Amino acid sequence: MAEFLSLHDAVARYVEDGATVAMEGFTHLIPFAAGHEVIRQGKRDLTLIRMTPDLVYDQLIGAGCAKTVIFSWGGNPGVGSLHRLRDAVEKGWPHKVEILEHSHAAMACAFEAGAAGLPLAVLRGYVGSELPNVNDQIKFIECPFTGERLAAVPAVRPDVSIVHAQKADRAGNVLVEGIVGVQKEAVLAAKQSIVTVEEIVDDLTTLPDYHPNACIIPGWAIDAIAVAEKGSLPSYAHGHYPRDNAFYKDWDGIARDREAFTQWLDDNVMNAGENA
C-alpha cells in the first residue's frame, strides 16, 4: 500500500548504494526531481536502467552515482550527445562506467516481462545487428513450435523503480496521462517503487475527465508516493507544463565541460534545496 513520504525520505528509504534502479518516462514525465534527490544523497554504485538515459542519467553519471548503465538510446534528443555519459565511457570521468546496450524493442519487452513475472522476454529482434556481440545479455533461442530463431533478453527486475505522474489520490492511486512509455511496466516489474506526482487529489475516479480506460496504477501496487511539483522539468508533464526545449539545448554546453557541469550541479542540485 502506497505510503505518502517526502521525496527525501522515499529516496533515503528505498534507494540503497549498489541498488539496481530504473527511472522511467519515455521523453515525457522524466523523474528529474527524484534523480536530483538521489544525487544529493550521494548514492553510489547504482546500476541505472532506462531506455533513454536523457539528461537525468547524464547528471547522475556525472555526479558519480552510476556503476553500470543499461539503456537503448543514449543521446540528448534532437540536440546531440550526452557528454557526461560519453566522458565516463570514453575517458573514465569521474570513474569508468560499464554499459550494457540494447534496442528499444528489447528493453520495452524486458520491462514488460518483468511486470509479467517472467524470467525473460522473447522478440523477433537483433537480426543482423552486432549488438549481441558486445552485450552478453542478448541471446537467441529456438521457438519450440515453429523452430524460428528469436532473440531473448533477461526480464528487467529493478530493486526500485521511480516514475513521475500527473496525479495521485488519497488512496495512493496514480494517474498517468499522455505518452505512458514503460512507466506502468517499470513500477510493476520492480521489487519496490516510488512515484512522484505533480499533485494529490481527493479521488481520481470522481474527477470530471476521469475515463474508465485511463492509465491508472493502483495504490496497492506502489510503495511510496512523494509530491514533486514540476518534478519532471526540463522534461514535461502532459496537461501541466511543456518541455523546456531551450534547457535541453543549453545542456549541451553545460555538460561538455567538467567544470561547467560541476558548477551547474552545485548551483542547481546540491545547494538548491530539497525541491530542486
Residues 28-67 contacting other proteins, CB under 8 A: 28, 51-52
SS3 145: coil
Among 236, 251, 261, 264, the residue binding other proteins under the rule CB under 8 A is 236
Contact region with other proteins (CB under 8 A), list: 73-81, 159-167, 192-200, 268-276: 73-81
How far apart, in whole angstroms, are the C-alpha atoms of residue 158 and residue 156?
6
Among 27, 68, 137, 262, the residue binding other proteins under the rule CB under 8 A is 27
SS (H, E, C) 43-54: CCCEEEECCCCH
**What does the per-residue mask of binding to other proteins show for 241-270, with x meaning CB under 8 A?**
-xxxxx-x----------------------
Q: Cβ of residue 73: shortest distance to other proteins, in angstroms?
A: 4
| Cβ-count burial 219-256 (b if 16+ within 10 Å, e if not) | bebbbbbbbbebbbbbbbbeebeebeeeebeebeebbe
**What does the per-residue mask of binding to other proteins show for 199-228, with x meaning CB under 8 A?**
------------------------------
> Dmax of the chain from CA atoms?
59
How many residues touch other proteins under the rule CB under 8 A: the total is: 55
Among 109, 163, 175, 226, the residue binding other proteins under the rule CB under 8 A is 109
Rounded to whole angstroms, what are the CA distances from 262 to 17, 61, 94, 177, 247?
A: 22, 12, 11, 34, 17
Q: Cβ of residue 3: shortest distance to other proteins, in angstroms?
A: 26
Name the grid cell of 236. 514535461
